[in-house]
Amino acid sequence: MSEFEEKVMEMLKKIDGKLDKILEMGTKAPMAQPKPATESAPAPASTPAPSTVKPSALVEKQQEEEKMKEKPPVEGRRVCTKCGSTEFNTVEDKTNVLHQMGGIKIYAKKYICKRCGAES
């Protein structure tokens, strides 16, 4: 065996010996007795376990995050005239050609509200 393999084998033997000691001590060690709970403060049975999450709660959380993303109206920012939203999709306006460059047409942009679909 090479020197590296010998070192690895030594380390494994040491680990095995330590593990044996821990296992021996674990079987000899006295088990801790749990304290009885007092009856004056019972645990609430109506609350669900924290590990289970309701899908409706997730949807509500996502909607709140979307609302937080939306920036409040500020001077110079586009605001929808119908719903007051500040989120818009940019689409090329094929009816309005600004100029043509090498056979490629450059179109104007129009903004469509993400919430209500109104053009502005």
Instruction: Note if the pTM is more than 0.75.
Output: no
The C-alpha angle with vertex 108 and arms to 70 and 66, in degrees rounded to 5, equals 10
Task: In whole angstroms, give the CA distance from residue 8 to residue 1.
Answer: 11
Mean pLDDT calculated for residue range 40-58? 62
> Residue 50 domain-assigned?
no
Neighbouring-strand partners of residue 110: 91
> Residue 65 domain-assigned?
no
> Residue 113 domain-assigned?
yes
Mean pLDDT calculated for residue range 63-90? 78
> Residue 95 domain-assigned?
yes
The pLDDT of residue 38 is 55
Token couple for 35: 């304290």
Task: In whole angstroms, give the CA distance from residue 50 to residue 35.
Answer: 24
> Residue 105 domain-assigned?
yes
Torsion sign, CA atoms 117, 82, 80, 107: positive
> Residue 7 domain-assigned?
no
* Token pair 């709660």 in the structure block, residue: 57
Total number of domains in the chain = 1
Indicate the SS3 state at residue 88: strand
> Residue 56 domain-assigned?
no
Which domain does 83 fall in, by range? Answer: 78-119
